[in-house]
Structure 1
Amino acid sequence: MTLNFLIILVIIALAAWLGNVLLSLEAIVGQSRTRVKAARESVAKLEASMKRFQRDEESANKETDDLLNEMIALRKKQAEVQQKLAEEQAKRKPRLLILSDRRNPSDKEWLVIVANTQIGEVDASHPLAQEWARGREYLVWAETDRDAAERAVRRFSARPGYTVRSVQPVKEDLYPSGRPAAALKP
């Protein structure tokens, strides 16, 4: 009987121990199930975020393509307008201003370009601001190109910002008689 009692006691102890082990395993499995569920929810949230980011990326790419196409169209239009402007400017007869009507018999005709970018900087709405920025052409009579540049500098040196950009000989003699046509009145 003692032996039977001992065996029953060992069986009960073993059953209690196995019950504790099973309860511990059940708690561990429950925690694992909770972690797996949380991981699945995180994965679902991440997948939803990825889909949203993909839609946003597709939308941004489409918008970028649309803006690029619009920019290309505007650049083509700008090129057309610039071409028309260049054609119109080529049609426009250039104005040649005479710096002084004094001329010596040995003088040659020089085309002097005088520019002043400060006019546009001070008052961009000035009617001659762009023309001064590009440079205005003056007919100057002088023996050399250096003399022609000096005459232009003397003429414009009283005001700041004026510079002589270039001095070139006139290819054809505009006033062969030695006097401007306006001065030859009968």
Structure 2
Amino acid sequence: MFIHVGLILLILVSITYAAAVLRKIEGDVVQHQRDMRTLEEEHHQLEVACNTLGELLSQVGDELASAQAEVMRLSDEKAQQEAALAALEEAPKQRLFLVDRATLTQAKLWEVTILNGGAGNGPGVPVATSMEWAAGRTYLIAGATDRDARYRAEPRFPSGQGYRIAKIERFRRA
């Protein structure tokens, strides 16, 4: 009988130990499930963050590409503007000739363009001078009206010598 009581006690201790182990296992399972839920939530948050960063990266890439295209366009435009500036700097300047300085302060100034296709065609005359007369030289002549300016220009540039008044405009340059 002592053996039976010993066996029963042994069985009871074994059952108690097994119950404690099962409770520990259940607690570990619950903790594992909580940890898994937390990990899944964090994983989801990381996926959302990665997607957001991917979208931002693509937007920044698009903006960078457009900025690079704009830089290229502006550099091309700058090169064109510099070429145009160089061409303008190399182009001959339009000279204004003064006939009489004394009358400049007394009346309005007029730009009188005078042509002479035959002037300067002789030997020893530079081609540039001939071209300038053919295109027209601009003289500043003082006068109250354009007729007055024409009246003052005609005696200095007679039509009998091949001179011709092409146009008369009000002087507006600064």
* TM-score (norm. length: structure 1): 0.47
Deviation sequence 1:45-69 (CA, Å, 0-9, x none): 1121111111111110110000110
Deviation at 1:27, TM superposition (A): 0.7
- Tell me, which stretches of 5 or more residues in structure 1 are unaligned? 96-186
Provide the residue aligned with 1:181 in structure 2: none
Q: Which amino acid aligns with 2:7?
A: I
Q: Which amino acid aligns with 2:72?
A: I
Distance in 2 (CA, whole Å) between partners of 1:20 and 1:78 is 84
Distance in 2 (CA, whole Å) between partners of 1:62 and 1:92 is 46
Distance in 2 (CA, whole Å) between partners of 1:75 and 1:92 is 27
Deviation sequence 1:21-79 (CA, Å, 0-9, x none): 11011111211221122122212211211111111111101100001101111111111
Q: Which consecutive aligned stretches of 4+ in structure 1 deviate over 6 angstroms post-superposition?
A: none
Provide the residue aligned with 1:100 in structure 2: none
Say whether 1:12 aligns with 2:7: no
Alignment of 1:12-161 (within 5 A): 12-93=12-93
Deviation at 1:94, TM superposition (A): 9.5
Distance in 2 (CA, whole Å) between partners of 1:92 and 1:18 is 109
Distance in 1 (CA, whole Å) between partners of 2:54 and 2:27 is 40
Deviation at 1:93, TM superposition (A): 3.2
Deviation sequence 1:116-136 (CA, Å, 0-9, x none): xxxxxxxxxxxxxxxxxxxxx
* TM-score (norm. length: structure 2): 0.50
* % identical equivalent positions: 21
1:93 aligns to what SS in structure 2? coil
Deviation sequence 1:117-164 (CA, Å, 0-9, x none): xxxxxxxxxxxxxxxxxxxxxxxxxxxxxxxxxxxxxxxxxxxxxxxx
Distance in 1 (CA, whole Å) between partners of 2:22 and 2:13 is 14
Q: Which amino acid aligns with 2:66?
A: D
Distance in 2 (CA, whole Å) between partners of 1:15 and 1:94 is 117
Aligned length: 95
